[in-house]
Copies of this chain bind each other. A is one copy, B any other.
Amino acid sequence: MVRQSELELNTEGNGQMTDITAEVSRAAEESGIKDGIVTVFVPGATGAVTTIEYESGLVKDFAELMERLAPQGKDYAHNARWGDGNGHSHLRASLLGPSLTVPLTDGALALGTWQQIVFVDFDTRARMRNLIVQIVGE
C-alpha cells in the first residue's frame, strides 16, 4: 500500500527550523498503514529535512553551524547571476538533503525519545511550504 499526504507550513525562512514530528506522525496514523517506511520530502531546492533534539540551544547551534559552513555573506556565483541573494540557502539545502526516511512500526514512527523530525527553510523570505509525506507498507 502507498499513501501520500501533504503538509502545509508557514515559515519565516532564513534558516527557521520547524518541528514537524506531530504532523508526520498524524499522517502515518491516518494512512492506515501499520508497518513500513515514511519518506518526508521537500519539493524545492532551498529547504531540507533532518532529525535533531528540538530545543532552543541546538536550534541556535545548528543555525550557527550552517552559517559557518556556507556563510550568507560570501560572493556566490548564483547570486551574481540571478540576483536573488539566496546562494547560501541552496548550498545548505543540498548539503543537508531534501529527503528523510523513517521506519513505521505498529503505526508509530521509530524515533528516539529526544529525536524530532525538522524542516529547515533556508530561503530568504517567508512563504507557505508544502512537504510530501509518502508512506509505503502494509
Residues of A within 8 A of B (CB): 1-2, 4, 35-37, 39, 41-45, 50-53, 55-58, 60-62, 65, 68-70, 76-82, 87, 90-91, 93-105, 110-112, 114-115, 132, 134, 136-138
Q: Are A44 and B112 in contact (CB under 8 A)?
A: yes
Instruction: Give the shortest distance, in Å, between A72 (CB) and chain B (any CB).
Output: 13
The A interface, classified by DSSP as helix, strand, loop or mixed, is: mixed
Q: In the complex the two chains form, what is the Cα distance from A2 to B106 in whole Å?
A: 11
Asked if A97 meets B100 with Cβ closer than 8 Å, knowing A39-B37, A53-B45, A115-B45, the reply is yes
Contact present for A76 and B61 (CB under 8 Å): yes
> Please, could you name 25 A-B residue pairs with CB atoms under 8 Å apart, sorted by A?
A4-B103, A41-B101, A41-B103, A43-B110, A44-B114, A45-B114, A50-B95, A50-B97, A52-B90, A55-B81, A57-B76, A57-B78, A57-B79, A57-B81, A58-B87, A58-B90, A60-B77, A61-B78, A61-B87, A65-B70, A96-B97, A98-B100, A99-B100, A103-B132, A110-B132
